[in-house]
Structure 1
């Protein structure tokens, strides 16, 4: 396996298109702004300066992509994946097999006609916000990608089992297939078209689409005829409320259709499978992706349910993974973007045998109700008073915000809860969406108890459990619980506490496993 391998020649084309994609808006702005309505001077070089710059950029990018493909080689040697690239500055990267956490596949539009995939290598130390994956094999054949994955899996299996490598020429090498057949991945969840359609409706991507259009148009602010557009809009408004309403609804319909199309292309064929050690998530129609998540890296499970999902009996599930990188969204991974609520507990139990999703939650004390809404009055009351004074009498309608805030606070208080079962902490809280987090004690990075002077008067406190989620910690708040329960939770987390042996907090019996 010490033979050096090259990427497919499609790599040069992909690098060219990638660079053009990142620079397309500045290039279009430069060409359009300097080429439209400009008087010709008769000087060829001056009149075509922007086009010449654009052409030079294309040529430079093409040459750079070709050089990257030609100078990029990789091979396996001494238990490492080794990569060498660069023309004037030669760079080498050696990645030990034991550091490799996952091997992910991406099959883009340019990959599929040639039977190619992009392979991303993720390592335990690859956690920078600005970094991408540890190593990218931009375009290799599917057979080569499977061979790379097999080499890495075999090396890690040998290390786990303590098997010795056989020298070259003396039997099977590091690149040979395993002696024992690997456990086949079992399909756990497959997302149907109905769920994709509903996900597009709930996802809120309509706002992202309109924001993207606005950002794109803002790049041409110097050449857009805003005065003419304004006059046209004013003339259109004169047609009446009905026409304006119809136009707004038409725009919302177009945004919704684009959102559905975007979601459908991104989540088509969404499948979750696992083989006991790793979790595999595959999705995509035009661009197929397969993400590998080691189960040992998963820190917590989050089940979310907004009111619209609740009416239809659906929830969404994410897992928080340690490591990865924020650029690739490696922190919170969508495990089940939309799944039937009655099915989720069974699938989680199959994937995480030690998890307890049926624990009876301890409720928040009744005396804690005011804490869920009265802090909002500090910023709402001045706004309400200002609206009532300056916009009288219509500004008095702002008073309706106060009962809305109170009802929202009571709703959050009623929804919140927590439980400890053995070595597992369950936390539930509501923003607009109801969140339930399941995390084991060994995955909790820190636990903090906080008590203000107002909470002390009511004998309540807030406990916050933090666990690793990608490069940043994620928090599960247990707000305004009884002071004694807060102290017991801190004792449960304390390694030297006897509560670790009993595993009972707040009257919840110990059970489950880690």
Structure 2
């Protein structure tokens, strides 16, 4: 392969500078506020404006560091490898064999689009969701990105077809092959405008915004004039409860609108396509992202229905991937919002070897009480204390009892499971209803739990775990028939020799349930 060395686009210097500034946002804001709150005058300008000078020096340092990262970064292709060299005083070299590369993920930010650039993340099987990608090219042209794809495809094709070693990138046969692969791309899912609006409306963006505000307040609490805010709030209260209520309502609506806008920008143009043996997900308005997930890395599939969407027949679908570094990590949002009645058809187009029918085997009636009995016992002292110390209003805490029982019955009625040949399907509920689809060869461990009280009622809990990045995705069926639990253990034990050795655990627990 060619040993010609390539540089990143000059926009890299700006992006790296802004990235470094973002990481140093705390000292930058502190220095900025320190200048605004300066109330001394020593007569020495370099003392009076010391924080300004430090702030300016820090900004210059960040700009120089971004410029150096751009000037000292090179990549090239050699010996069927993508080679990257970077660093000023410490030169770092990273050699990534093309055969190890699982996917090339693309991002087009606001600085990329005007110049038709992309950021490329190189993901390998060893990438971790807790680490950065194996390699990152901050800003290169789309043509350069296609060149990397061509080198990678050629290297993998050589490995499969040793007789084709004389083919080069500009070979007409090679170009036709690449175009043929692109033509095979099959679009399997796209968010409509209506679905996008419903997704934005029912998303959890409000929680993200409020948590961000809480983090800001914790970091800069000393700089916020709380006394002035409380005085102003007290003056507002004088106008009456109605005015205060309207202001609070307007604030909540404002936060909700902001969360809708954030979700809209993030999921705009969301599409899922099949290209050869890869799932390709594209999304984003201001920042367009393209994530590639090899089908062979998918470990399990989950269909999730939260209480807000379930009554309207909507669900979301996630896949769990081995390794990491793709999308949001090991858990990837495959269908952010989809009608439940078309989930099976859409998933079968991607995973034809899976069975996506609803599980039909329900839980036994004798295990029903275990879903709420422990919570009930834990809450009795709390209810008693509230009723005693806050009598008579504390008696309202008695309403917790029917709420606990109703929630337990809700979980009981949601539970179901099924075995289809080499696949285990489990449906269970925390707050949201989740249906997990796991194949036998992808299940890393299967665990049976049983307490003394469970044995008396002849029920048991089964926990199936599949790899999800550096962690695990677990499917749980609580308090099923003991005989059925043992049958699932036997089913898992009969795996073929080619698969990993099963990890079976049988536990006796003193507690009544989880």
- Other structure's SS at 1:76 match: strand
Structure 2 residue aligned with 1:506: none
Distance 1:496 1:128 in 2: 29
- Residues 83-94 of structure 1 correspond to what in structure 2 (within 5 A)? 83-94=84-95
How many aligned positions are there? 492
Contact 1:35–1:50 under 8 Å retained in 2: no
For 1:199 and 1:425, how far apart are their aligned partners in 2?
29
Residue 200 of structure 1, CA deviation: 1.6
How far apart in 2 are the matches of 1:217 and 1:496?
Answer: 54
User: Is the Cα–Cα contact under 8 Å of residues 359 and 421 in structure 1 kept in the other structure?
Assistant: no
User: 2:189 aligns to what?
Assistant: 189
Superposed CA offset, 1:410-438 (max 9, x none): 01100100000101110000112110011
Q: Which residue does the alignment assign to 1:323?
A: 323
Tell me the distance in 2 between the aligned counterparts of 1:95 and 1:410: 53
Distance change (3 Å), C-alpha of 1:482 and 1:288: same
User: 1:405 — aligned with what?
Assistant: 404
Please, which moves more after superposition, 382-391 or 35-44? 35-44
SS at match of 1:89: coil
Distance in 2 separating the partners of 1:296 and 1:303: 19
Match of 2:24 in 1: 23
Q: Closer, same or farther in 2 for the Cα pair 1:187/1:195, shift >3 Å?
A: same
| Partner residue, 1:361 | 360
Check conservation: 2:441, 2:495, Cα contact below 8 A.
no
Unaligned runs of 5+ in 2: 500-514
C-alpha distance in structure 1 between counterparts of 2:423 and 2:495, whole Å: 17
Structure 2: how far apart are the matches of 1:87 and 1:230? 52
Aligned residue number for residue 348 of structure 2: 349
- Name the CA distance, whole Å, in 1 between partners of 2:293 and 2:200: 25
Q: Spell out the pairing of 1:448-463 with structure 2 (5 A cutoff).
A: 448-463=447-462
| Deviation at residue 175 of structure 1 after TM alignment | 7.8
| 1:50-96 CA-partner distances (Å, limit 9, x unpaired) | 11111111111111111111111111111111111111111110011
Match of 1:480 in 2: 479
Does structure 1 retain, via aligned residues, the 8 Å contact 2:188–2:346? yes
Cα distance, 1:279 vs structure 2: 0.5
CA distance in 1, matches of 2:496, 2:332: 34
The answer (yes or no) to whether the contact 1:154–1:174 under 8 Å persists in 2 is: yes
Question: Equivalent residue for 1:374?
Answer: 373
Superposition TM-score, scaled by structure 2 size: 0.92
Rounded to whole Å, the distance in 1 between the matches of 2:354 and 2:207 is 36
Structure 1 partner of 2:77:
76
Q: Quick one: distance in 2 between partners of 1:453 and 1:178?
A: 67
CA contact (8 A) 2:35 2:52 kept: no
Partner deviation per Cα, 1:28-59 (whole Å, 9 max, x = no partner): 12221354142221211111111111111111
**Root-mean-square deviation (Å):** 1.9
Q: Is the 8 A contact 1:265 1:286 kept in 2?
A: yes
Residues 229-287 of structure 1 show CA distances to partners (whole Å, capped at 9, x for unaligned) of 11221222232221222112111110111011101111111111112300110011110
What's the counterpart of residue 509 of structure 1? none
Once the two structures are TM-superposed, the CA of residue 463 in structure 1 deviates from its matched residue by: 0.8
CA distance 1:434–1:391, change in 2 (3 Å): same
CA–CA distance in structure 1, aligned partners of residues 164 and 370 of structure 2: 63
Cα distance in structure 1, aligned partners of 2:330 and 2:72: 33
Provide Cα deviations, 1:146-195, integer angstroms capped at 9, x if missing partner. 11122212322332x333452xxxx4237863663325311111112221
**Which whole-Å CA distance do the structure 1 matches of 2:176 and 2:146 have between them?**
17
How far apart, CA to CA, are the structure 2 residues paired with 1:345 and 1:163?
41
**Are 2:243 and 1:243 aligned?**
yes
What does residue range 112-123 of structure 1 map to in structure 2 within 5 Å?
Answer: 112-123=113-124
Distance in 2, matches of 1:217 and 1:198, equals: 31
| Per-residue deviation, residues 177-225 of structure 1 (Å, max 9, x unmatched) | 3663325311111112221211122212112212212322333322322
Confirm whether residue 278 of structure 1 aligns to residue 297 of structure 2. no
1:152 aligned residue: 152
State the Cα distance separating 1:401 from its structure 2 match.
0.4
Q: Does the CA-based 8 Å contact 1:388-1:394 persist in structure 2?
A: yes
Aligned equivalents of 1:128, 1:317: Cα separation in 2: 19
SS at match of 2:424: strand
**Separation of aligned partners in 1, 2:71 and 2:253:** 48
Aligned-partner Cα distance in 1 for 2:175–2:457: 63
Per-residue CA distance 1:274-317 (angstroms, 9 max, x = gap): 12300110011110000000011001110011232122221100
Partner in structure 1 of residue 427 of structure 2: 428
Partner of 1:338: 337
1:110-138 Cα offsets, whole Å, 9 max, x none, are 01111110000001111251x21100000
* Partners of 1:403 and 1:238 in 2: CA distance: 40
The question of whether the paired residues in 1 share the 8 Å contact of 2:206 and 2:259 is answered with: yes
Q: Is the partner of 1:216 in helix, strand or coil?
A: helix
What's the counterpart of residue 50 of structure 2? 49
- Give yes or no for contact 1:165–1:174 (8 Å, CA) kept in 2: no
Q: Tell me if structure 2 keeps the 8 A contact 1:151–1:175.
A: no
When residues 175 and 411 of structure 1 are mapped into structure 2, their CA distance, relative to the original with a 3 A threshold, is farther
Cα 1:359–1:216 shift into 2, 3 Å: closer
Please say if 1:207 is aligned against 2:211: no
Q: Which residue of 1 aligns with 2:441?
A: 442
**Distance in 1 between the 2:74 and 2:170 partners?**
18
Q: Residue 505 of structure 2 corresponds to which residue in structure 1?
A: none
